[in-house]
Structure 1
Amino acid sequence: MKHYVTGYKPNEDDQAFKVRIPLSLPELREIMRWTDDGDCVFDNEMSELHRQKIEDTCSIDLPKNLDLFLTTESS
């Protein structure tokens, strides 16, 4: 599975940002507080805390002016 953070301008449907993140499912389960591995198949809206944890874990900067979502694609 490949995991991405995607970003959208508020109230718009066109994707403005996408970056692959090198985290495993167990790492994401902890960050996102998932209780089931199947939770990753949905687009998950990210909170400010999620954004900060992913930035810290991956040593990346994510946009602060977009609505961010964690998405997963099969390999």
Structure 2
Amino acid sequence: MKHLIMGVPKNENFPVFEVGVAMPTNKLAALMNWQDESDWIFDYQLDAEQISAIEEVEKYELPKELDLFLTYRSSSK
């Protein structure tokens, strides 16, 4: 299982940015307030607090000019 952050320009539908998230899924679950494993497979628009927490753990800065989404990609891809 792999989570990614995708960045989409405002008022558009297609991502122009993608980066992997190495944070363990259990830490992501706490950050995202997921209740069970089925919550992990959906796409979520990230808020400023979630973005800051991910940047701190991942040690990278995410683009501010894009809408950022956390998404899931199965490990078979």
Percent of residue pairs identical: 37
- Paired AA for residue 74 in structure 2: S
Unmatched tracts of structure 1, length 5 or more: none
* Equivalent residues in 2 for 1:1-75, closer than 5 Å: 1-75=1-75
1:24-49 CA-partner distances (Å, limit 9, x unpaired): 11010011111111111110110000
Q: CA deviation at 1:62?
A: 0.3
The normalised TM-score by structure 2 is: 0.92
Unmatched tracts of structure 2, length 5 or more: none
Following the alignment from structure 1 to structure 2, what is the Cα–Cα distance between the partners of residues 42 and 15?
A: 16
Following the alignment from structure 1 to structure 2, what is the Cα–Cα distance between the partners of residues 3 and 22?
A: 8
Query: Which aligned runs of 4 or more in structure 1 are off by greater than 2 angstroms?
Result: none
Following the alignment from structure 2 to structure 1, what is the Cα–Cα distance between the partners of residues 64 and 9?
A: 10
The number of residues matched between the two structures is: 75
The normalised TM-score by structure 1 is: 0.95
- Paired AA for residue 58 in structure 2: C
